[in-house]
Structure formats: C-alpha cells, structure tokens
C-alpha cells in the first residue's frame, strides 16, 4: 500500500533547518524540500529558464546541466558557498542519506523505532540514516561493522537503497522483486560474471522502471562510485516512480516474465501460448532430441526483440541486436542453449534440420557484437566449440513472423511448447 508523509509541519521545519545548517559545514549536497515532481529530460521541455534558476558556475556544458537546473528549481539540491555545484564530485553515504531522506514521500518512523549505528552518534547525517533504516531503505545487516558515513557511496548501494524504497512504497514492487530473482539483466556484465546473483533483483527494479538507464555500453557498473550529478538525476526519477504500480513499466514486465518463465515472449510480442503448451521454464528441464539423432539440446532462455519499421524495441535490444538490422516488421529471437553433438561431423545445417522447427536454429550471433557484450556463440569454425560427446552452452538466433506465425518444439518427458500469433 502506498505510504504518504503526515508528519508534524513544525517538527519537520526544525529538522530541515538543523540538517541544512550542518550540511553547510560539511559541504554536502542536500535537498531543501521533498515532494513529487514530473521528470523531464531537458530544462527547456520543463519550461525552466536555466540562467535564472541555475546559479552554479561550473555546470555549463555538463551532461547533467538541465537535470541540475531542474533539481535546483524544485529545491531538491544546493551547492557550495563558492557558487559551484561540483557535478563530478563523489557522494558519501551520509550525503546520499540526507538527500534521499527528503526525496521520499513515505511516512516517517517514530524515533524510538529507528535503527542506530554505533559510529553515527553525533554525526550530522545521523537523523537521516536512522530514518531511512527504519523506513527500510537501508538494510542494517549490510553495515554490521558500522555505517561509515564518510565512505564514498557505490552505485550498487545507491540502487539497492532505491529498490528497497520502491518495495516499501508499493506492494507490487515486492512482487516484481521476487519475479526477477532469476531474470536476465540487459547488461553485458551478467555474461562476464561481474554481477552477483543476489544483486540481480535490486538492479532489475531500478533498471526496469527507468530510474537507472545504464551507461552507453549498457553497463550498470555497480562497484563504481557515484557523483553528485548522477545522484541528482536518479533521485528525480525515483521521486516520480515511488508509490506507483510496478505493472505500468513495460521494461520491468519483460524482466519479470523472463524471471518467471525464461522468456519475454508474451510481453514484447503478440504471440501467446496455445492450449496445453508448456513454457520455456518447463521445457528447460527436458531434452530436445534432434530427429536425425545428430545431437541433444536443452533450452534455457528464449529472448525476443521486436523489430517494427526497422527499429528494435524492448529492454533487450541494445544487448542483443547489432546496428545493421534488416528493415521491416518481425521478431528477432535469441536462444540460450546447451548442446551435445552425437556426430563427428560438425554441420550446423544438419543440426538445424534435426530440430524440425523454425523456433530454434543453429545460427550464430553477430560475432563482433557477441564478443562486445560477453556472449558465447558459435564461432566461424564451429569445431572450435562443438565436438562429439561434449556438452557446451552458447547463444543462437532465429526469428518469428510478425503476423500469423505458429511454432512448436518438444522436450522429452516434459511436453510441447506451442506458440501462435493470429494477428
């Protein structure tokens, strides 16, 4: 259920004055007021006269210039006494806690119920940290050795606190968190093993809602520190998402379907399962035996990207699709499979024929794109990967018709996956 602040106005004013006073001493990036805002990507679109509302002399030409102007106009942020904002300056845990404590609209928690940290006594950020921990933003178990408020904040900490806040603000985000435990994040870092399994659902919430979009190469860089400019942009977006319904975010819905069924098929496309069809999560438990006895295949995930008028759509488009796609309307599909060949003859055409289905094919991903994003795919010389009797795991690609398509594939002992699109 959505929570709303109903605190005493006088008490809140005293607390704000206290925090602002201590923040000026510490040079922290602190908000002045909290409240809902509408996110806009540019100052002009928001109707902001940047020269009037942005007093900072060091943000001209910075990527977050318009964002900082918006945050300043909304009195979310302040700068330093020398009229600088220092957009690339690092943010500490204490500074971020002070900002986030005012960005949230959730109900405050009585001081007697607030969590305490031994190393925060008397620190200027103590009230904000205690409040956030009591509200559920900060998990005290993450800081058993002390909160260490002057430690630079990592991007993962920033994203986890926000994800926790979403789950506390609306129960549908708790459902989304559980649905994405086993999802595929749209970042090459998952292929490289630099994101831990327990981090995935937290990152899925902030990525799926658009609060965090990632860098140009698609990475989320959870171990990196964050900056004042990034914090400004991300908290503006968080304020817009807090308390809403998780089901309204199409990207998050794709991640949820992949997490629960192994595919985003029904979220991104017009395809649906036929009566008595099994899902990818079911079929992954059985063997797909090639009809010509050339091998045995196991399907783990089946990712779909919608191509409409030659443009890729969906949360996975940048991760999977190379730039030189064919124009038109269709669905590109990418299958995460394990395969064991039964023949000395490594022949991709023979393997594909043995599938008796256009749903899966032994077609390699674009090799340069695959290497860039950490995928294992069939190399130019398949023998480098596939050999008789050896089970290997890799990605292949195929496509589905945009309209009037029907496909099926059978796994021994599990059943048949049957999908169709009659539109």
Return the number of other C-beta atoms located less than 10 Å from residue 227's C-beta.
Answer: 19
Per-residue pLDDT at 76: 74
> Average pLDDT, whole number, for the chain?
87
Identify the sign of the CA torsion 352, 354, 355, 356: positive
- Residue 54's pLDDT band (boundaries 50, 70, 90)? low
What are φ and ψ of residue 34, in 5° steps? -115, 170
Q: Span 186-200, mean pLDDT?
A: 95
Q: Which of 118-122, 162-166, 246-250 has the weakest average pLDDT? A: 118-122
CA 119 to chain centre: 32
Q: In sequence order, what E strands does 155-236 have?
A: none
**Which residues in 158-194 are b (16+ Cβ under 10 Å) and which e?**
bbbbbbbbbbbbbebbeebbebbeebbbbbbbbbeeb
The per-residue pLDDT for range 348-364, each reduced to its tens digit, is 999 999 998 889 999 99
Question: pTM here?
Answer: 0.86
Contact 229, 87 (CB under 8 A): yes
Contact 180, 198 (CB under 8 A): no
CA atoms within 13 A on the CB side of 414: 22
- Between CA 408 and CA 418 the distance in angstroms is 4
The per-residue pLDDT for range 92-146, each reduced to its tens digit, is 999 999 989 989 999 988 877 777 898 999 999 999 999 999 999 999 999 999 9
């Amino acid at each position: 259920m959505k929570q709303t602040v109903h605190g005493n106005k006088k008490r809140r004013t005293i607390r704000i004055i206290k925090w602002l006073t201590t923040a000026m001493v510490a040079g922290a990036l602190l908000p002045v007021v909290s409240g809902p805002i509408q996110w806009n990507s540019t100052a002009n679109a928001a109707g902001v006269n940047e020269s009037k509302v942005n007093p900072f002399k060091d943000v001209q030409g910075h990527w977050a210039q318009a964002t900082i102007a918006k945050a300043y106009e909304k009195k979310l942020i302040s700068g330093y006494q020398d009229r600088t904002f220092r957009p690339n300056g690092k943010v500490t845990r204490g500074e971020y806690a002070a900002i986030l404590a005012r960005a949230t609209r959730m109900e405050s928690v009585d001081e007697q119920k607030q969590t305490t940290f031994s190393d925060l006594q008397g620190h200027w950020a103590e009230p904000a940290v205690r409040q956030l921990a009591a509200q559920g933003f900060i998990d005290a178990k993450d800081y058993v050795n002390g909160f260490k408020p002057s430690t630079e904040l990592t991007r993962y900490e920033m994203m986890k606190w926000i994800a926790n806040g979403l789950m506390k603000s609306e129960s549908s985000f708790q459902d989304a968190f559980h649905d994405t435990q086993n999802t595929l994040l749209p970042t090459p870092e998952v292929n490289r093993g630099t994101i831990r399994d327990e981090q995935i659902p937290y990152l899925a919430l902030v990525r799926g809602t658009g609060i965090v979009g990632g860098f140009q190469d698609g990475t989320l860089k959870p171990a990196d520190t964050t900056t004042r400019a990034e914090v400004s942009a991300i908290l503006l977006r968080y304020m817009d998402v807090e308390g809403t319904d998780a089901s309204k975010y199409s990207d998050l819905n794709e991640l949820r379907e992949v997490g629960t069924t192994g595919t985003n098929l029904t979220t991104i496309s017009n395809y649906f399962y036929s009566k008595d069809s099994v899902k990818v999560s079911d079929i992954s438990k059985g063997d797909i035996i090639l009809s010509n006895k050339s091998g045995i295949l196991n399907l783990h995930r089946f990712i779909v990207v919608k191509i409409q008028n030659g443009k890729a759509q969906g949360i996975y488009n940048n991760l999977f699709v190379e730039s030189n796609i064919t124009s038109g309307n269709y669905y590109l599909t990418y299958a995460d499979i394990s395969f064991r060949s039964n023949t000395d003859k490594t022949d991709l055409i023979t393997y594909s024929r043995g599938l008796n289905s256009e749903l899966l094919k032994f077609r390699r991903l674009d090799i340069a794109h695959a290497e860039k994003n950490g995928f294992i795919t069939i190399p130019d010389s398949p023998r480098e990967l596939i050999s008789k009797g050896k089970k290997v795991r890799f990605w292949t690609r195929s496509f589905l018709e945009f309209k009037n398509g029907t496909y099926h594939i059978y796994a021994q002992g599990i059943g048949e996956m049957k999908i169709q699109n009659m539109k």
